[in-house]
């Protein structure tokens, strides 16, 4: 997050705490301040799974998807959807232990 955006977010939090900003506006501010994540590429999926030391079948089972989907992601035939990207990012940052 940029320094200016960080300052604006801190000010918004303070305004919310004292009741000068409503919850809906605060949620919008939180949303605006989220750091955009770059889309996960095929090599990222393969790396995340490999670093987790699991097969495609086990990885798919943990994510609640089919093995074919993991294969297609790793081959670049399909791209993970928004929720799947968030799960992959979580696994990348915190490991599989965050899900199991």
> What percent of the chain has pLDDT above 70?
99
Q: Rounded distance, CA 87 to CA 92, Å?
A: 8
Question: Hey, what are 40's tokens?
Answer: 């996960």
Domain limits, the chain:
3-32, 42-98
CB 13 within 8 A of CB 23: no
CB 12 within 8 A of CB 29: yes
Mean pLDDT of 5-21: 92
Asked if pLDDT for residue 1 goes beyond 70, the answer is no
Determine the number of helices (DSSP H) and then strands (DSSP E) in the chain. Answer: 6, 0
In order of 13, 28, 31, 61, the CA distances from 65 in angstroms are 38, 31, 28, 6
Mean pLDDT of 40-60: 96
Quick one: pLDDT at residue 6? 87
Mean pLDDT of 41-60: 96
The position carrying tokens 């919310």 is 16
Instruction: Give the pLDDT band (50/70/90) at residue 34.
Output: confident
CATH code, residues 42-98 = 1.10.260.40
Asked if pLDDT for residue 19 goes beyond 90, the answer is yes
Quick one: pLDDT at residue 54? 96
Quick one: pLDDT at residue 37? 79
Mean pLDDT of 6-17: 92
Mean per-residue pLDDT of the chain:
92
């Amino acid at each position: 997050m940029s320094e200016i955006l960080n300052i604006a977010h801190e000010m918004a939090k303070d305004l919310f705490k004292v009741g000068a900003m409503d919850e809906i506006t605060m949620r919008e501010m939180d949303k605006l301040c989220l750091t955009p994540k770059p889309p996960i590429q095929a090599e990222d999926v393969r790396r995340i799974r490999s670093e987790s030391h699991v097969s495609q079948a086990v990885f798919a089972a943990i994510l609640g998807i089919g093995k074919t989907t993991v294969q297609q992601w790793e081959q670049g035939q399909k791209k993970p959807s928004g929720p799947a990207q968030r799960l992959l990012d979580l696994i990348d940052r915190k490991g599989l232990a965050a899900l199991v």
